[in-house]
Structure formats: structure tokens, C-alpha cells
Structure 1
């Protein structure tokens, strides 16, 4: 496996300060991530939980990257593009953590 093909899973927490008019639909959030991804992101998978009423949305992203730093930079940029959409206006990426899938035997 070359460095460019290492797959990482990234846990992202999007938050938004109250008041929140309406919580985004999880399927719509996944669609937005795919819509804002570019080929250079090397995105493989996106999954999200139902948003918490307190303004928290947990997202798991799987992508290929050359390093953990490259992976986090890519996901931060993807989150920045995605949160510019009207549906996620006011939401920000608060916490990101990453783990290489190769270390998990995948």
C-alpha cells in the first residue's frame, strides 16, 4: 500500500450556537459533503448522526491521503466548503480526530 492510498477515518463534530431554527436532515448533510467534495479530496465515505438539539452534529469521513496531517487539512477544507451552503450556514467544525484504517486491519 503506497502512502497515497492510506485510508483514514476522520471524526468531525460540527457545532452551531443557539438559536437553531431547524436541525439539518442527516441525509442532506451527507449529500452536501458529497456535493462539495472535489476529486483531490479522495473521499470514500461519509456518515452522520442525527443532529443533537444542542447544536451538535457528528460526522465520520473516510478518505485516502498521504499522511494524517494531509487528511486533516483535506477534511477541514471540505468542512469549510460544505458549511458555506445555506443548510449548514452558521455551523463550524469544532473537533477533528483521525485514525488510519490500515492500523485497524482494513
Structure 2
């Protein structure tokens, strides 16, 4: 089991309602709605960071490298739905 963190920031200009001020559950629901069994996610936790929202993803993988690659590929695949809700992901980290 590996844990990968992804910071999501607001993609809109300042002055609009901030991503960090939204209910974290919205992002969690959005991520789960687009997750596939092949993503091997076990749990997703969302928290506000003050500058955005952080997704903490627990997943099954064979190595740290494959966990990070899998999460990167997932966020590339869901970038359209994320952008529709004004979320812009930053590079995932451990």
C-alpha cells in the first residue's frame, strides 16, 4: 500500500470563490466517480490546505514509482472533469 498526495489549486482568476473554501467532499466524490478498478485506489482523503485542497490517495502498487506513475496517469485522465470544476492539480508527491 502506498500513499500519494496531490495538491489541487484554483484554476480561475483571483476573486472567484476559492477551491479551498469548497466542501472537500465535492472533490472526493469527483475523484471516486472517475476512478477505475485498474487505478487500484483503496481510500481517498481530502483536506483543505488554505491554498487549495490536498487529495491523499491510498493505493495498491508494486513500488513507489508505479504508485506515483499511476496517480499521475489518473490525474491526466480526469483533467477535463477537474477543470470543469475549476481544480488544477499540482504534481503528485509521496
For the aligned pair, the TM-score class normalised by the smaller chain equals: 0.7 to 0.9
Give the TM-score taking structure 1 as reference length: 0.70
- Structure 2 portions without partners, runs of 5+: none
Larger radius of gyration: 1
* Number of aligned residues: 88
Aligned equivalent of 2:14, options 16, 19, 42: 19
- State how far apart, in whole Å, the 2-side matches of 1:20 and 1:75 are: 30
- State how far apart, in whole Å, the 1-side matches of 2:15 and 2:3 are: 28
- State how far apart, in whole Å, the 1-side matches of 2:69 and 2:15 are: 28
Mapping of 1:56-95 within 5 angstroms?
56-85=52-81, 86-89=84-87, 91-92=88-89, 94-95=90-91
2:43: which partner in 1?
45
CA RMSD of aligned residues (A): 2.0
- Structure 1 portions without partners, runs of 5+: 1-6, 99-106
CA deviation string 1:46-75 (max 9, x = no partner): 0111363x4x22110000011111111111
Q: Structure 1 or 2: larger strand share? A: 1
Helix, strand or coil for the counterpart of 1:97? Answer: coil
Q: Runs of at least 4 residues of structure 1 off by over 3 A?
A: none
